[in-house]
Structure 1
Amino acid sequence: MLGLMAARQAGLDDPARLRRAERTRRVLSLELNKDRDVERIHGSGINTLDIEPVEGRYMLSGGSDGVIVLYDLENLSRKPSYTCKALFSVGRSHPDVHKFSVETVQWYPHDTGMFTSSSFDKTLKIWDTNTLQPADIFHFEGTVYSHHMSPIATKHCLIAGHRQEVLAVSWSPRHEYVLATGSADGRVKLWDVRRASGCLSTLDQYNGEKSKASSEAANTAHNGRVNGLCYTNDGLHLLTVGTDDRMRLWNSSTGENTLVNYGKVCNESRKGLKFAISCGCNPEFAFVPYGSTIAVYTVFTGELITMLRGHYSTVNCCVFQPHFQELYSGSKDCNILAWIPAPREPVPDDASEKSLPQQHVNPAYEDAWSSSDDEG
């Protein structure tokens, strides 16, 4: 890292490379932070988390008890040990609390003044953060398993929600009218909401080679319920998980299964599974609830990097904080845990570039200075 910093100062390296290297190091060193607690408010399992993208400071949680809580993640005390306090909660005594389990909460992507929630009580609510009152309530005939607002849309304010057996939805972060959905029938579909027919394509795990697929499995993304999906930050790929204990990576433009092998990804959830993908790292990482742990995979090679252990029961959701490369997870054990990059070991005052291991030295920086030394 010293080599990267020195090369950046000397103008020999791209500053983005230093940022990517440090973000990647931080993600690879994630550990359960014993000095940071998240105030325990929920009396039952936590199904969903969301951190607002404007400041990355406020986090929403939704629980099986219908309760919604808003947390402040900033350390206002400036002490090494602190608790992320709940600023408010929509508790059981609130007149507009959801009657049943809250399955998804999401901030309005452009302003912390509004957030949304959907529930098994067949409603989707739009909340005014300041008054903590619903600005609007949508009632559906069937159960709402998931909803999502586009992070980039400027020409529409559509909220994608599905009833009955569609378990996961996500807008593309690249194309504001493109939507991905995952269903209990094993299918993943891409939609263009401007088109009358709607559906652009149905993802096929066999890439059209039907001779290798049974008639039942043909034209399906998974051999089980598809209960989780997430786009990569650039929108070029889509990651899906299913109850067939498989995770698959798709080219979002062509719909092709990239055939990355992640091994067995244990998934026994009967409803939506909320997982996350890192941002600004090289390589990028996927954080996937895996029983009572969180499995960390490299997105494009499928390598299992580590298992984050700390919960006492099934993990239902996790959310990545890209500003500081932190991870928060919610579980049936009613706890929200904070996973923070391990602190960097202090560098001795007399440390020099030559004393560093070879893999930490930027080759461009090293070569430039060694030739200069030879000439001198």
Structure 2
Amino acid sequence: MLNSLLFERSVGTLHPRDFARIQTDTLLRSFRSAPRFRFDCGDRPPARHRGDHAESESESLWAHQAGVTALALERFDGRILISGGADATIRLWDLEQCANPSNLSSSFFKYTPLSTIQRAESSSSSPSPAAAHRFGITHLSFYPFDPSAFLSSSFDQTLKLWSTATARVSGTFALNAKVYTHAVSPAADHLLVACGTQHPAVRLVDLRSAAAVQSLVAPSASASSPPGATLAVSWSPSQPHALASAAVDGAVRIWDVRRSNGLVALLDQEDGLGIFHPGRNPPASMGGGGDANRGGGIIRASAKAHHGPANGLVWTDDGAFLVSTGHDRRVRVWDAATGRNTLVNFGPSIRNSHVGSIPMVVVPATLARDDRVLVFPNETEILLLRMGDGKVVSRLRGPGTGTGMAAFAAGARGGRQSVRNRVTSVVWRGAGGGGQSCNGPVMGGSNAPGGLYSGHMDGQIRAWMPRTEGADDEDEDAEDVAEERSRKRKALDEAYRSLMGRQVTFGQ
């Protein structure tokens, strides 16, 4: 197949751009677990809990022992990965520590952090603004124009701006409410950060003036049903002043931050035509029935995008579509031009019950051959879904990512705790993000053909790599070795328990 494509490209019957798209599409459909790559923060479980049958080194490594809650990957070189933990620590990783990921000299490669931002002391009720976070990290993001700065939000009710080079805080913004997520505007003419908090209003922070300059307040459908907390926010990559937000009440709202009354649209799952459909005439009176007219469109105040909390939003890289998800276990694709529900059915496989933001990723359109691909963290697995028809392209599962329980070292208590191994975050590795694509128009970085990285509640950061010619045997060997070690360890544990639990008597 590859030889025929190379021949067609050489004789001119296949355009080089089409050849690249076919190849990246093939790689995209071949993603699988890469257990050879591990992230190690350096912490170890206490000796008294290791037991006589200690785990192998590769199986006792953690990025954050208390669980990984957020990831961010810079889009210019695809090199620096930032992780945040439930213990309020932040770590920076260099993905180019492994010079040649496809040819390892050992059974696994261990990434070590470039720097670590430790949790701030929580003894004082009013910590110093220069201190790190006190509670769990909820979201991380790089500065959109320069990877030398990144932002973090936390349950300690603050948004912080950091220097990537020094890992020191450059600014702290107190929002007086738990911050579930944030999004940095991709527009260069205004440096606004939208924050979704426990408060119903979306808070806008201006990095230039170091102040929360505006609150986007959503009108309630009734006085007895306030909108509730904002769980997801996302800026349009094509309209610099358009912001989408998703809230506990199941509503997805579109805002224009330039307007005093900023609400532009309220997406309705029952609307297959769209708010701005040309055949829809505005009513003669705008005052009745709970409807309103904003910018030529009709807003029904009771419209809902999801039955139950809506907690995930992501735009396509060209801004043509908006994807949302909620606790009703539905993923919906919206036409950004009209606001209509495209009615794509993603089937019964979707699982979403966590109260918090769901970090979805849309693969850049230039990399997909036929249709856009959505990367969806589906509780304990990762789904690659076609946005056009909702079909599953790939279902990513790896060692330790099943639907069972995962054990990890609980450093705060010095013991071991079983937790459901939920996928908390996922990032796409792309380089050359200076173009229109918000995720990087080139798949992978300088040392790898591509990659996904996911954070998990068991404290691991897992890598997912595409199959490449010549690397299949090595990956299969590594997986076989891991499975064989797990099988032997279980057999030894069972034999040990049976011997220790049996009373031995000696005859006279």
Same fold (TM over 0.5): yes
- Structure 2 residue identity aligned to 1:73: L
- Structure 2 residue 332 is matched with structure 1 residue 224: no
Cα deviation for residue 75 of structure 1 reads 4.1
Q: Equivalent residue of 2:28, what SS? A: helix
Q: Which residue of 1 aligns with 2:72?
A: 50
- Structure 2 residue identity aligned to 1:34: P
Gaps in structure 2 of 5+ consecutive residues: 41-61, 122-129, 199-228, 274-299, 407-420, 431-442, 445-449, 472-508
Q: Which residue of 2 aligns with 1:109?
A: 144
Q: Which residue of 2 aligns with 1:20?
A: 21
| Cα RMSD after superposing both structures | 2.1
- Structure 2 residue 199 is matched with structure 1 residue 74: no
Q: Which residue of 2 aligns with 1:89?
A: 116
Residue number among 312, 328, 338 corresponding to 2:453 in the alignment: 328
In the superposition, relative to structure 1, how do residues 9 and 84 fare at CA in structure 2: closer, same or farther (>3 Å)? farther
In the superposition, relative to structure 1, how do residues 5 and 208 fare at CA in structure 2: closer, same or farther (>3 Å)? closer
Cα deviation for residue 83 of structure 1 reads 2.5
Distance, in Å, in 2 between the alignment partners of 1:345 and 1:126 is 43
- Structure 2 residue 401 is matched with structure 1 residue 293: no
Cα deviation for residue 93 of structure 1 reads 5.8
Residue number among 180, 189, 192 corresponding to 2:256 in the alignment: 192
Gaps in structure 1 of 5+ consecutive residues: 210-215, 347-376
Cα deviation for residue 148 of structure 1 reads 0.7
Residue number among 221, 235, 249 corresponding to 1:171 in the alignment: 235
Identity of aligned residues (%): 34
In the superposition, relative to structure 1, how do residues 77 and 111 fare at CA in structure 2: closer, same or farther (>3 Å)? same
Distance, in Å, in 2 between the alignment partners of 1:75 and 1:132 is 19
Q: Equivalent residue of 2:6, what SS? A: helix
* Structure (1 or 2) with the larger CA radius of gyration: 2
In the superposition, relative to structure 1, how do residues 15 and 304 fare at CA in structure 2: closer, same or farther (>3 Å)? same
Distance, in Å, in 1 between the alignment partners of 2:36 and 2:63 is 18
Q: Which residue of 2 aligns with 1:338?
A: 463
Cα deviation for residue 317 of structure 1 reads 1.2
In the superposition, relative to structure 1, how do residues 226 and 166 fare at CA in structure 2: closer, same or farther (>3 Å)? same
Residue number among 187, 190, 193 corresponding to 1:156 in the alignment: 190
- Structure 2 residue identity aligned to 1:300: G
Map residues 130-145 of structure 1 onto 2, 5 A cutoff. Answer: 130-145=165-180
Cα deviation for residue 332 of structure 1 reads 0.7
Cα deviation for residue 76 of structure 1 reads 4.1
Residue number among 357, 369, 391 corresponding to 1:272 in the alignment: 357
Cα deviation for residue 61 of structure 1 reads 1.1
What TM-score results when the alignment is normalised by the length of structure 1? Answer: 0.86
In the superposition, relative to structure 1, how do residues 262 and 208 fare at CA in structure 2: closer, same or farther (>3 Å)? closer
1:206-257: CA deviations, max 9, x gaps? 0179xxxxxx995100001111111112111111110011110011121110
CA contact (8 A) 2:251 2:306 kept: yes
Q: Equivalent residue of 1:272, what SS? A: coil
Q: Equivalent residue of 1:286, what SS? A: strand
Q: Which residue of 2 aligns with 1:182?
A: 246
- Structure 1 residue identity aligned to 2:82: L
Q: Equivalent residue of 1:261, what SS? A: coil
Distance, in Å, in 2 between the alignment partners of 1:3 and 1:177 is 47
Cα deviation for residue 44 of structure 1 reads 1.4
Distance, in Å, in 2 between the alignment partners of 1:132 and 1:139 is 20
Residue number among 337, 342, 345 corresponding to 1:258 in the alignment: 342
1:294-327: CA deviations, max 9, x gaps? 1221111100223211224111111111332311
1:140-182: CA deviations, max 9, x gaps? 121111101123x121111111221100011111111111111
Distance, in Å, in 2 between the alignment partners of 1:344 and 1:172 is 38
CA contact (8 A) 1:46 1:61 kept: yes
Distance, in Å, in 2 between the alignment partners of 1:293 and 1:192 is 35
Q: Equivalent residue of 2:150, what SS? A: strand
1:31-77: CA deviations, max 9, x gaps? 11132222233121212111101111111111111111111111444
Q: Equivalent residue of 1:258, what SS? A: coil
1:123-147: CA deviations, max 9, x gaps? 0000112222211100012111110
Distance, in Å, in 2 between the alignment partners of 1:176 and 1:5 is 40
Q: Equivalent residue of 1:16, what SS? A: helix
CA contact (8 A) 1:314 1:332 kept: yes
Q: Which residue of 1 aligns with 2:368?
A: 281
Q: Which residue of 2 aligns with 1:205?
A: 269
What TM-score results when the alignment is normalised by the length of structure 2? Answer: 0.64
| Deviates further, 181-190 or 323-332 | 323-332
CA contact (8 A) 2:312 2:360 kept: yes
- Structure 2 residue identity aligned to 1:281: A
